[in-house]
Amino acid sequence: MDVLVTDADIVTMAAGAGLARSMLVRDDRIAAIGPAERVRAAAAPGARVVGLEGAAVIPGLIDAHCHLCNVGYLASGADCSQPAAPDIPAILARLRDAAARTPEGSWVTGSGYVEYKLHEGRHPTRADLDAAVPDRPAILFHTSLHACVLNTPALREAGFGDRQPDSPGGRFGRDGEGRLDGVVHEGPTFTLLWGGLRRDMQRMSAEQRAGLVARAGQHFAALGITAACDADTRRDSLTAYAEADERGMLGVRVGGLVVHDEADWLLGSGLRGRRSPRLAAESVKIWADGGMSSRTAAIHGSYPVPPYGSGIMYFPPDELTAMVAEFDARGLQVCIHAQGDRAIETVLDAYAAVLGGRCGNPLRHRIEHGGSMFAPLAARAAPLGIVVAAQPGMLSILGDGFAEALPERSDELYAYASWRRAGIRVAGSSDAPVITADPLVGIRDAVLRRTSSGRVLGPGERLAAQNALALYTTEAAFAMHREHDIGSLEPGKLADFVILDRNPLDTEPEQITDIRVLATAVGGQPVFQASDSPLRL
């Protein structure tokens, strides 16, 4: 049946198009959009009319880099983020509560803390966690997921002892006597996260696994998100997405960025490519360095704050180049996490060596984050056609910590306006659960660039609201190779759209996060409707 959306303030994001008043949805696609009379004339007799009473419609929002499965997985643990847990005693209380509801055989988990936001200004330690959960393994993830804290039973079960050496891609915290203090940075943290996810998901039924990722998708849909790239996709999560898709439970469209060491599995699994309109896995994810909020991103120079040093690189340059060359030859889009300027330089060297004099970047290889992509690096990235998946929402949530870590260059971090002027395609994303998945936070922060303390990082890098919205629509669709289907509201494209209580382009930037999502549609079908909204799709 045709569905005629009328009396709406429709932001199409189509090139050269202004606002529309009506939109006709036929099956899963947009059949017509524009002035009310012209669109009504295109509707079939008996079309269902949905009057929006002046509410706004925008294209479905796209998160080009998140960890969707981890959002679902960690949601069952303790929320230890700030300001909800302002100090270590509050974190420990939440871990005790989580222990009471965690099944035997599973580790107690918590996530979301930022050490420099805690009243104590430090990481919790194994001794702290032992006081809350003394007799079973417990793990507390830093908000970046690039660090964690283990209690003594977890250290024991993981096989980490006081004589444990640091690995090239990881570091262990130690007390004054050289004993492990429970804090783990980088590589081993990923091993623990992935190991726990695999252990727990393999204990689930197919229905339970599908439910886990479906619930994460429902959370995203309630925020107006209709498509997302999972930048930490492994065989267990991709299998869960496929199980949800087969059951009709995958509400949002998912693009899997498969972790590089499982690329061979992907190629032999039958899951590569576009499985359905809602699930694809055509990309590979590599980590080049550590995290900005954990102060382990690989930089030139040294950090003036703990853990000091100059960050962590995961691969030597020649090995990284060889990996890019291999995946490029196999037709996979390469997406490399790089935050520090030293890491970004190495990644650009690898891309330049592989792409060489080739015309453009047809696979749209990407840099994920790119926080310290300063002007000389942006000037190298632009002619290579490198796409950047950025997270504007980090500016308000983590920006004060970024400024402490790189005080002399803080106004040059996440330089979205400069990147766009250089010709770089910049896609919006959240990196959730590192920060909130809410794209309205990212849109606001791309416009304001204001930290939680009120400081503005790089006033000259502010974006106009239209360009900020483009990050999460047209630009993110391009990053996913899906600009022909999603990202703007045009005839022939999929009917992925969001109904808002007001137009974000006409809203004061400080009030953008007050906008309410009234409904979200994927392929013309509602995947979220606010319970108190009188407007029903």
Q: Is the pLDDT of residue 308 over 80?
A: yes
Query: For residue 14, what is the domain's CATH number?
Result: 2.30.40.10
Kindly report which listed range (244-248, 363-367, 529-533) carries the lowest average pLDDT score: 529-533
Query: What single-letter DSSP state applies at residue 385?
Result: T
Strands 426-428 and 387-390: what pairing?
A: parallel
Structure tokens at 475: 């630009």
Q: How far is CA 127 from CA 154, 172, 238, 253, 441, in A?
A: 12, 15, 36, 43, 36
pLDDT (mean) for 35-60:
96
Gap between the Cα atoms of 355 and 418, Å rounded? 24
Distances (CA, A) of 57 to 5, 13, 31, 516: 9, 11, 16, 12
Tens digit of pLDDT for each residue in 132-187? 999 999 999 999 999 999 999 999 999 999 998 988 789 999 999 999 999 999 99
Last residue of a domain, one of 151, 180, 197: 197
Beta-bridge partners for 6:
51
User: 16 with 114, same domain?
Assistant: no
Q: What is the mean pLDDT of the chain?
A: 96
| Predicted pLDDT at 356 | 87
Q: How far apart are CA 187 and CA 287, in angstroms?
A: 10
- Same structural domain for residues 50 and 23? yes
Is 53 within a domain? yes
Same domain, 175 and 88: yes
Query: Do 176 and 109 belong together in one domain?
Result: yes
pLDDT at 25: 98
Whether 84 and 121 map to the same domain: the answer is yes
Confidence of residue 357 (pLDDT cuts 50, 70, 90): low
Is position 414 within any domain? no
Confidence of residue 358 (pLDDT cuts 50, 70, 90): low
pLDDT of residue 266: 86
**Domain for residue 278, yes or no?**
no
pLDDT at 535 over 80: no
Residue 95 sits in which domain range? 70-197
| Closest by Cα among 7, 11, 12, 14 to 36 | 7
Give the whole-number percent of the chain exceeding pLDDT 70: 99
Q: Are residues 139 and 178 in the same domain?
A: yes
Assess whether pLDDT exceeds 70 at residue 67: yes
The residue type of 272 is R
Is 154 within a domain?
yes
Q: Is residue 519 part of a domain?
A: yes
Residues 18 and 94 in one domain: no
Q: Are residues 54 and 74 in the same domain?
A: no
Does residue 16 carry a pLDDT above 90?
no
Please give the order of strands across the beta sheet that includes 78-79: 78-79, 108-113, 138-142, 147-150, 180-186, 170-174
Among 263, 271, 217, 268, smallest CA distance to 242 is for: 271
Q: Which of 52-66, 164-178, 383-397 has the lowest mean pLDDT?
A: 164-178
Indicate the SS3 state at residue 355.
Answer: helix
Q: Is the pLDDT of residue 268 over 90?
A: no
Query: What is the structure's pLDDT at 534?
Result: 72
Q: Which of 177, 197, 217 is the last residue of a domain?
A: 197
**pLDDT surpassing 80 at residue 285:** yes
User: Which residues, in sequence order, are CB contacts of 464 under 8 Å at separation 6+?
Assistant: 447
Q: Are 2 and 31 in contact (CB under 8 A)?
A: yes
Q: Which long-range contacts (CB under 8 A, 24 or more apart) does 528-535 make?
A: 528/218, 528/221, 528/222, 528/251, 535/50, 535/52, 535/53, 535/55, 535/499
The enclosing H or E element of 223 equals none
Higher pLDDT: 274 or 260? It is 260
Is the same domain home to 108 and 127?
yes
In a domain, 132, yes or no: yes
Number of domain units in the chain: 2
Residue 388: what pLDDT?
Answer: 99
**pLDDT band per the 50, 70, 90 thresholds, residue 342:** very high
Is residue 274 over pLDDT 80? no
Q: How far apart are CA 109 and CA 123, in angstroms?
A: 16
Residue 273 has pLDDT above 80, yes or no: no
Residue 19 clears pLDDT 90, i.e. is over it? yes
Range 76-90 average pLDDT: 96
CATH of the domain at 106: 3.10.310.70
Note whether 166 and 78 are same-domain residues.
yes
**H-run or E-run covering 387:** strand 387-390
* pLDDT, average across residues 253-268: 93
pTM for this one?
Answer: 0.96
Q: What is the pLDDT of residues 451-499, one digit of tens each?
A: 999 999 999 999 999 999 999 999 999 999 999 999 999 999 999 999 9
Residue 443 has pLDDT above 90, yes or no: yes
Q: Are both 110 and 38 inside the same structural domain?
A: no
Does 44 share its domain with 127? no
Residue 160 domain-assigned (yes or no): yes
Could you tell me if residue 250 is inside a domain? no
Q: Which of 143, 166, 197 is the last residue of a domain?
A: 197
